[in-house]
Amino acid sequence: MMRVAEGSYAIADAVRCCSPDVVSVYPITPQTHIVEHLSQLVANGELDCEYINVDSEFSSLSSLIGASAAGARTYTSTTSQGLALMFEVLYNASGMRLPIVMTTVNRALSAPLSIWNDQQDTFGVRDSGWIQLYAENVQEVMDLTPQLYRISEDPDILTPSMACMDGYILTHVYEPVEFLDPGLVKEILPPFSPVNVLDPEDPKTFGAFADPSWFTEFRYLQYKAMERALDLIGKVDKEFEETFGRGYGGLIDTYQADDAEILLVSLGSIVGTIKDAVDVLRKEGIKVGLVKIRSYRPFPVEALKEALKDASVVAVIEKDVSVGYQSALLTDIKGALYNTSIRVPIVGFAVGLGGRDVAMKQIRKIVENASKVKDEGLELETEFEIFGVNPECL
């Protein structure tokens, strides 16, 4: 059934449809309405699970490690500083191969103090061994929720995952969404049947001491599992589409990309604004298109090569900065294409930092800049730009 709902409320309902056994959250700032609505669902008897309020994000994920190892389906949600506080535990969850699912609400990291949206937080945990998928709208986050359980819990994957959801822009928006049917969710999401379980009758150790003769092998096996997820993400997206009638293109999606000379690459909620900008610019005769990254880890190198190979210029638009060297998605895309025969100039723009609004006119300016690179060639000093800086600061 489609109705207008707040993003956070809709996500809580999608989580309910996945029947988690244990939800563990830190309920205080930085946090969103997602966990508030979940606690309401539990209090109303609409979600039968163990709901634990803990003293920090470090504790929320730590408690889920225990629950997941004991065979429970687990869920948490956090954002910004909360994700930063989880940093150590993120590596423990992935290293122990526990299929925990988290809605990670993208918000800026302090200082200076900010509560607003950007994607510095999740890019900052890029290497923690978690699957990361980014969503364009509330419906996509909802639909990702059962898909992530299905992917993470697959015996060939056993890797935790996060649905990255732009803070405020998606968590606080009211828009029409199709609520998930729990019966249909069961069709694509079988009950969690863990391979290894903490069981006093059959004792096992999780996250044990690995001396230098074994540590590498654990990382290798994680790496291979993440590679296998590349196939499964697309497969599960198709299964979901067959059941629910909504598909998202798998690892990446494209918009007006077939004959595009200028290809924009982006991810998250800004993709919607870019699509509208592409329509306007197309009407003016500018051959511009979009590649939307859905899966950032695992990184869809082959799909990107195919999508970007015929472009005259690629412009990467993202909401993060690696202070010291450009930004995460830009450098990853350059890396993915370097050892290929594809020799397209690639430029990057960091936008929307700390909640700075990104409107169509900024996308237009980025396309103008990219068009100049197409016509005049790439200057290394303008390869990357923190976009829209107040002139008095320059």
Partner 1 sequence: MKEIRLHGRGGQGAVTAAELIAIAAFEDKKFSQAFPAFGVERRGAPVMAFARIADQPIRVRSQIYEPDYVIVQDVTLLEVVDVAGGLKPDGKIMINTDRPKEKLGLDTEAEIVTIDATTIALEELGRPIVNTTMLGAFCGATGEIGLEGLNKAILDRFTGALGENNLKAIKTAYERVSQ
Nearest CA to 64 among 28, 29, 33, 92? Answer: 92
Nearer to partner 1, 113 or 195 (CB): 113
CA distance 271 to 125: 22
Smallest distance from the beta carbon of 321 to partner 1, in angstroms?
Answer: 21
Q: Is 276 in the site for partner 1 (CB under 8 A)?
A: yes
Q: Is 175 in the site for partner 1 (CB under 8 A)?
A: yes
Size of the site for partner 1 (CB under 8 A): 26
Q: Is 355 in the site for partner 1 (CB under 8 A)?
A: yes
Q: Is 270 in the site for partner 1 (CB under 8 A)?
A: yes
CA distance 21 to 49: 5
Q: What are residue 52's phi and psi, to 5 degrees?
A: -115, 120
Smallest distance from the beta carbon of 369 to partner 1, in angstroms?
Answer: 19
Taking the CA atoms of residue 204, residue 209, residue 214 and residue 216 in that order, the dihedral angle to the nearest 10 degrees is: 110
**E strand map for the chain:** 2-6, 22-25, 50-53, 74-79, 101-106, 131-134, 161-166, 174-178, 252-255, 262-266, 288-293, 295-297, 313-318, 346-350, 384-386
Nearer to partner 1, 63 or 117 (CB): 117
> Strand pairing of 131-134 and 161-166?
parallel
> Does residue 297 sit in helix, strand or coil?
strand
Q: Within 10 A of 1 (CB to CB), how many other CB atoms are there?
A: 7
Q: Residue written as tokens 């929720």?
A: 145
Pull the structure tokens for residue 268.
Answer: 């998250």
> Does residue 164 sit in helix, strand or coil?
strand
Smallest distance from the beta carbon of 276 to partner 1, in angstroms?
Answer: 4
Which one of residues 89, 131, 157, 173 is an interface residue with partner 1 (CB under 8 A)? 173
Given a contact cutoff of 8 angstroms between Cβ atoms, the answer to whether 327 and 318 are in contact is: yes
Q: Is 358 in the site for partner 1 (CB under 8 A)?
A: yes
Which one of residues 25, 169, 290, 313 is an interface residue with partner 1 (CB under 8 A)? 169
Nearer to partner 1, 136 or 318 (CB): 136
Smallest distance from the beta carbon of 168 to partner 1, in angstroms?
Answer: 4
Nearer to partner 1, 67 or 270 (CB): 270
- 135-154 residues in contact with partner 1 (CB under 8 A) are 136-137
Q: Is 215 in the site for partner 1 (CB under 8 A)?
A: no
Nearer to partner 1, 360 or 386 (CB): 360
Which range touches partner 1 (CB under 8 A), out of 64-72, 81-89, 165-173, 297-305?
165-173
Which string of x and - marks every residue 85-124 that binds partner 1 (by CB under 8 A)?
------------------------------xxx-------
Nearer to partner 1, 3 or 343 (CB): 3
Q: Is 249 in the site for partner 1 (CB under 8 A)?
A: no
Which range touches partner 1 (CB under 8 A), out of 48-56, 187-195, 352-360, 372-380?
352-360
Which one of residues 227, 306, 357, 379 is an interface residue with partner 1 (CB under 8 A)? 357
Which one of residues 126, 172, 235, 309 is an interface residue with partner 1 (CB under 8 A)? 172
Q: Is 360 in the site for partner 1 (CB under 8 A)?
A: yes
> Strand pairing of 288-293 and 262-266?
parallel
Nearest CA to 19 among 44, 43, 46, 1? Answer: 46
Nearer to partner 1, 61 or 144 (CB): 144
Pull the structure tokens for residue 23.
Answer: 């939800």
Query: Which strands make up the sheet holding 262-266, listed edge to edge?
Result: 252-255, 288-293, 262-266, 313-318, 346-350, 384-386
Nearer to partner 1, 236 or 271 (CB): 271
CA distance 142 to 8: 10
| Bond prior to 30 in cis (omega within 30° of 0) | yes
- 2-31 residues in contact with partner 1 (CB under 8 A) are 3-4, 6
Interface ranges with partner 1 (CB under 8 A): 3-4, 6, 115-117, 136-137, 168-169, 172-176, 269-270, 272-273, 275-276, 355, 357-360
